[in-house]
Structure 1
Amino acid sequence: MIIDLPDTSASRIGREILTARSRVGVPTGLVFTMIAVARGCDDDEVFAAVIDAGREHPSRIILVSDGDDGPTRLDAVLRLAEEVPGEIIQLVFHGELTEHHASVLLPLLLPDSPVVVWWPGGSPETPGDDPIGRLALRRITDSHAAEFPIAALVERAQHLSPGDTDLTWTRLTRWRALLAAAVEQHPAPIRRAIVRATPGNAAGVLLAAWLDDRLGVEVRLEDEAGEYGIMGVELQTDAGDIRLTRTDGTMAAFSAPGVPRRIVALPRRDLNALITEELRRLDEDAAYHAAMAALGARWDAGVTKESL
């Protein structure tokens, strides 16, 4: 069911949802409210990602975008039932209303349920102090979408608040799992680590910071030409080197002391998979916060600045 509500209000949107629920039998057991603030990004890509996320986590999803500078008004499109998991509310703010997103959103939040805010494109300097960000338990940014990803990620580290996370961290999930397993299986002391990534790659900078925090050794970040962001990681031990090197966008070569070289799965994941994974946990991610603290320290020490 699709309901168009041009020049509407939050109270009318609420009434229309209640009426539509009674007609089409939309489930009321929604997990949370997710607000996606679409600024400077592909609206269709964001819409597809939240639909995928909603299939795993039925929720109320509110897509926020700004229209023109003309007369002040709020346009809405409601989607319920059929192919939509839960409820989707698309809001377009016009005129002076673009300065008052939070006051319109507040009455549309599900009562007694967590709120998640996602900025798939541009995001505020301090998400925790943003009017929309203050509505949420979790705030998800994506430095990868910024004009200067490393600078954006460092800015996130410098203004980190409880509940913040960035999809740059989610992109590292498989890398972190493979490296953690390798260290556990080959427990020789690690003397130094090297992360090789394409110039300007924020994920490489954050992976180096995570290794710095977890290993407590020198971690060098080196630029390497390529098409896949992080191109490889080398952990140097007295027994030999542990290496994880990309061979293409889906696989990597793994080698370790006394172990034959083998190919392991290391796929690059799309936005749908990233946001779905991030929504599987709403509690604090201590490892992320520790890695971001290490990133801030490395930046202050001048270790990562040459990678901008």
Structure 2
Amino acid sequence: MNIDLTETTSAQINAALVGARRATGTPAVGMVLTLVIVTDEGNHYDALKAASQASKEHPSRILVVIKRPGRSPRERAQARLDAEVRVGNETDTGETVLLRLHGELAGHAASVVLPLLLPDAPVVVWWPEDAPENPAEDLLGRLAARRITDAASCEDPVDALRQRATAYAPGDTDLAWTRITPWRSVLASALDQGHPPIESAVVEGEEYNPSTELLALWLADRLHVPVERTGSPGPGLTAVRLVTTDGVICLDRPNGALAELAVPGQPERHVALKRRTTAELIAEELRRLDPDEAYAHAVAYGVERLAPAGAVKADVAEAEAKAKAEAKAARADDGKDDAGKAPAKKAAAKKQPAKQGGAKSPSAGTS
């Protein structure tokens, strides 16, 4: 059910929601949170689509705040609220309200949103584009238990990470951090099995990719070793190499879908590391409403503390060359042992007298 309201108020929107629930039989108690999306007219469709898909896992009331302050002085002076209420089959679970704030009202979004929040339910605010410099001090951000931004949408993602570190408050998170959750899980599980001392690391990914920066910051913070961040053609993150005293632990994903994990002394294995959609990222963030301390430590480490370009690359090349040389030497030793044992076996076979009756050899009759 879709209800269009022009030049309306928050009270009228609430009344429309109640009427729509009664008409469709959708109970409000089935929703677990309120998700507020702050965006513009050009980006609201993709953001709403991702939030609607995530609401199938987390039934919620979705409030899309679309600010239209206007360009001319006359447009800016005219304050008006238009709304579209969607309840029922189109949203599957929960409710969706599109709020278009015109003129001066665009600067007072919190006053419009506050009466529409679900009672006694947590609030999450998501800025797909153009997040405020300090989300926790934003008027909408103050209403939320979690505040989601995306450094990848900024013109300078690295500078955006610096800003996130400066303005961090418990409850802040970024989708650039959410994107590396599978990488962190695979690397942590590989190291949990026991490993030789790690001396340095290299993280490879696309230029201006904030997820690459965050993964390098996380490794440097947790391992306390020099970590270099290098560029690659992509897509996204492509490889992580940990230099140990026994060789290189390498997690390589050249195609954005399937990765190969190589650990010294173990057989290589493949790991599914496909690039996830925005809906999957939002669904992951809605699973937890407590502060993400790991993100706080990583973003606070500071990109300026990462190893300079080329500082660790030589260590990786040296470790890989050393591992290849040791493997080649081991194969050569195995060949010598086999060659030394072969004549002895042959001589022993000559000493054995032939059996009567023409018995077959052990390999006779096999295919």
Cα distance in 2 for residues equivalent to 1:256 and 1:41: 46
The 3 A distance-change label for structure 1 pair 124 and 304 is farther
Given the alignment, which residue of 245, 261, 264 partners 1:257?
264
Displacement of 1:303 in angstroms is: 5.2
Q: Which residue is equivalent to 2:118? A: 110
Whole-Å separation in 2 of the counterparts to 1:195 and 1:21: 50
Q: After superposition, where does 1:1-308 map in structure 2 within 5 Å?
A: 1-29=1-29, 30-39=31-40, 42-67=43-68, 69=70, 70=75, 71-84=78-91, 85-224=93-232, 226-294=233-301, 296=302, 298-299=303-304, 301=305
> Structure 2: how far apart are the matches of 1:219 and 1:302?
6
| Runs of at least 4 residues off by over 6 Å | none
**Distance in 2 of aligned mates of 1:302 and 1:194:** 10
1:185-209: CA deviation from partner (whole Å, max 9, x where unpaired)? 2421111111112221111110011
Contiguous gaps of at least 5 residues in structure 2: 311-367
User: How far apart, CA to CA, are the structure 1 residues paired with 2:245 and 2:272?
Assistant: 27
C-alpha separation in 1, matches of 2:108 and 2:163: 25
Deviation of the 1:40 alpha carbon: 7.5
Question: C-alpha offsets along residues 1-32 of structure 1, whole Å, 9 cap, x if unaligned?
Answer: 10000110001111111122122111222101
Name the CA distance, whole Å, in 1 between partners of 2:156 and 2:267: 39
Report if aligned partners of 1:39, 1:119 keep a CA contact under 8 Å in 2: no
Which one is further off, 61-70 or 46-55? 61-70
Paired with 2:307 and 2:151, the residues of 1 have a C-alpha distance of: 19
TM-score, length-scaled by structure 2: 0.79
Query: CA–CA distance in 2 between the matches of 1:198 and 1:60?
Result: 36
* 2-structure distance, mates of 1:229, 1:171: 10
What SS class does the counterpart of residue 98 from structure 1 fall into?
helix
- RCO higher in 1 or 2 (8 Å CA, sep ≥ 6)? 1
How many Å apart are 1:263 and its aligned residue?
2.2
Give the direction of change, closer, same or farther, for the CA distance of 1:205–1:9 in structure 2 (3 Å limit): same
For 1:249 and 1:220, how far apart are their aligned partners in 2?
A: 21
* Secondary structure, aligned partner of 2:274: coil
Change in Cα spacing, 1:111 to 1:105, as seen in structure 2 (3 Å) is same
Q: Which amino acid aligns with 2:52?
A: I
**Higher helix proportion, which one?**
2
Distance in 2 (alpha carbons) for counterparts of 1:258 and 1:206? 29
Q: Does the 8 A contact of 2:136 with 2:142 survive in 1?
A: yes
Tell me the distance in 2 between the aligned counterparts of 1:173 and 1:40: 30
TM-score scaled by structure 1? 0.94
- Residues 182 and 302 (structure 1 numbering): CA distance in 2 closer, same or farther, change over 3 Å? closer
Does the aligned pair in 1 maintain the 2:226–2:307 contact within 8 Å? Answer: no
Aligned-residue identity in percent: 45
Give the number of equivalent residue pairs. Answer: 302
Q: Secondary structure at the match of 1:4?
A: strand
* CA distance in structure 2 between the aligned counterparts of 1:153 and 1:305, rounded to whole angstroms: 19
- How far does the alpha carbon of each residue in 1:33-54 deviate from its partner, in whole angstroms, 9 at most, with x for none? 1100014752221111111111
Moved more, 256-265 or 211-220: 256-265
Indicate if the aligned counterparts of 2:201 and 2:228 stay in contact, CA closer than 8 A. Answer: yes
Letter in 2 for 1:94: H
**SS of 2:268 mapped into structure 1:** strand
Letter in 2 for 1:184: D
Q: Compared with structure 1, are the counterparts of its residues 20 and 52 closer, same or farther at alpha carbon in structure 2 (3 Å cutoff)?
A: same
Residue-by-residue CA offset, 1:85-114 (whole Å, 9 max, x unaligned): 111000000011011101111111111111
231-240 vs 259-268, which moves further: 259-268
Secondary structure of 1:260's aligned partner: coil
Closer, same or farther: CA 159–277 of 1 in aligned 2, 3 Å: same
Q: Unaligned stretches of 5+ in structure 1? A: none
Q: Which amino acid aligns with 2:163?
A: E
> Partners of 1:270 and 1:148 in 2: how far apart?
22
Q: Residue 252 and residue 64 in structure 1: after superposition, are their counterparts in 2 closer, same or farther (change >3 A)?
A: same
